[in-house]
Structure 1
Amino acid sequence: MRIGIIGLGSMGQMLVKSLCKSGVIQPEHITVFNRTREKAENLQASHGILIAESAQEVCDQANLVFLCTKPLDILPILRALSIPESVHIVSVAAGVSIDDLETVHAGAVSKVIPTVTSQELHGVSLFNAAVEQVQRIAMSYSLSCLPLVNHRKCPRSRSKQRRSSPAAHQD
């Protein structure tokens, strides 16, 4: 698996550091792009990740791409890219909905909203995707460094979720 990260603000840097620290993926399987190259170079020096020349290069190389830009930039960035349907797009922006992401990418999309404490591998993260995508993600990816504590089921599943008891969801 190859992971791509577009945007190296607080969340993007935290993801790089957490992924490398957890050992879930080797640093040479993480490719990043940031409009300010210096941030990417600093992370490359400290963690051994790869730097792409463009956001398109990240999408061409990765199976899973985290979008860690400002919420208002996410949809314009996605519209400007040619992303293979096989690439799973993950937004870390709270202000962008799954429906918004699905309008610009035909493949799997989801959201992960990590907390800053995830950098120390003790944080919690909100995970949001349609049920069908959650099943696909569970089979294809290991995001064990981002503990998943909550996900929203698609609207047609909400009534079933309300009727089931909490004990029915325990393993």
Structure 2
Amino acid sequence: MTTHDVIRTQKIGIMGVGNMGQAVLSAFIDSGIVPRENIIIANRSERKLKKVANEFQVRSVNTNEQLIDESNVVIIGVKPQDLYQAIEPIASSFHEDHVVISLAAGIPLASLEKLIPNAKKILRVLPNTAAKIKLSVIAYSSSAGATHHLKWIEDLLSTMGFVVAVEDGEMMEAMVVASSSGIGFVYELMMYWQEWLGERGISANIAKQVTTKVFAGAAAMAEAAPQVSFEELLRKVTSLKGVTAAGLESIRELEIERALRISFEKAAMRDKELGQTWIKID
């Protein structure tokens, strides 16, 4: 039996269909690997639940308990601050055969294992919103009980993009910042690009297209040369005493790298805070 065959036998429940839940749902359906009829969704807002169920043509249930009872794989897509209140009252509904996937930032794997002691196959998974277009980076860490299932689970996650296994803790924290939050950081830079072009008479629409193509082109060139470092790629597009070199000199004088590192560290601190302010289970 192939990993795809295994995936097709799973009943997958998605608890919480906000932006990320819908991105995951879309990726699963579009992959053709997950049968639409094998997906169940639940959501706190009944109105949103009906809307998403109609849009994606999947079955919805009214309670999280029912979703757990009818699923082999339970994907928890609720917000970090809501996770304890959503799961603690129904934790006994989980059993050792469930594969439980949490999408919540800031909540470490150890806390999830304490919250859901009956479940032995637990994963902390952090995709980013590019899952909508199957170009997400998906970092995950897993409990020991999930080890023998990781091949098909990785294939399931890969419907959203590029899957990276990391240790929970500092490595996962780094992936939260660089990958999950990274999309937002890149958009911020793209805004500056577009605004600068606009100040010089380029229309907003054209400026956005130019900016998007520049970032996409740079990314595509880097991806096409996996053995070439970013430093070498930069050297190849920078002529001595040329236009690019002048701009890069200013970037370095203004310590843009330092500013970005501070921003990354501040985001990492917030990820820690989410875990610390969440109700701990001792």
Amino acid in structure 2 at the alignment position of 1:115:
N
Q: What is aligned with 1:163?
A: none
The within-5 A match list for 1:31-110 is 31-81=40-90, 82-105=93-116, 106-107=118-119, 108-110=121-123
Amino acid in structure 2 at the alignment position of 1:134:
T
If the length of structure 1 is used for normalisation, what is the TM-score? 0.81
After superposition, give the CA deviation of every residue in 1:86-118 in whole Å (9 maximum; x if it has no partner).
Answer: 111111011111001100223211111111111
**How many residues were matched structurally?**
155
Instruction: Return the structure number with greater helix share.
Output: 2
- How far apart in 2 are the matches of 1:121 and 1:12? 14
Note the C-alpha offset of 1:137. Answer: 3.0
The within-5 A match list for 1:73-152 is 73-81=82-90, 82-105=93-116, 106-107=118-119, 108-130=121-143, 132-138=145-151, 142-143=155-156, 144-152=158-166
- How far apart in 2 are the matches of 1:84 and 1:130? 15
Amino acid in structure 1 at the alignment position of 2:107:
V
- How far apart in 1 are the matches of 2:162 and 2:153? 16
Runs of 4+ in 1 over 4 A off after TM superposition: none
Amino acid in structure 2 at the alignment position of 1:79:
E
Please tell me the root mean square deviation across aligned C-alpha atoms, in Å: 2.0
Higher relative contact order (CA 8 A, sep 6+): 1
- How far apart in 2 are the matches of 1:86 and 1:141? 18
Amino acid in structure 2 at the alignment position of 1:150:
V
Equivalent pairs: percent with the same residue? 23
SS at structure 2 position matched to 1:59: helix
CA contact (8 A) 2:101 2:124 kept: yes
Q: What is aligned with 1:166?
A: none
- How far apart in 2 are the matches of 1:5 and 1:147? 18
- How far apart in 1 are the matches of 2:155 and 2:74? 14
Runs of 5+ unmatched residues, structure 2: 1-9, 170-282
Larger Cα-atom Rg: 2
Structure-2 change in CA distance of 1:132 and 1:11 (3 Å): same
Instruction: Return the structure number with greater strand share.
Output: 1
- How far apart in 1 are the matches of 2:136 and 2:63? 30
Structure-2 change in CA distance of 1:153 and 1:31 (3 Å): same
Note the C-alpha offset of 1:146. Answer: 3.0
Q: What is aligned with 2:6?
A: none
Runs of 5+ unmatched residues, structure 1: 156-171
Note the C-alpha offset of 1:132. Answer: 4.9
If the length of structure 2 is used for normalisation, what is the TM-score? 0.51
Say yes or no: does 1:8 pair with 2:17.
yes
- How far apart in 2 are the matches of 1:140 and 1:126? 12
CA contact (8 A) 2:36 2:58 kept: yes
CA contact (8 A) 2:123 2:141 kept: yes
- How far apart in 2 are the matches of 1:117 and 1:96? 21
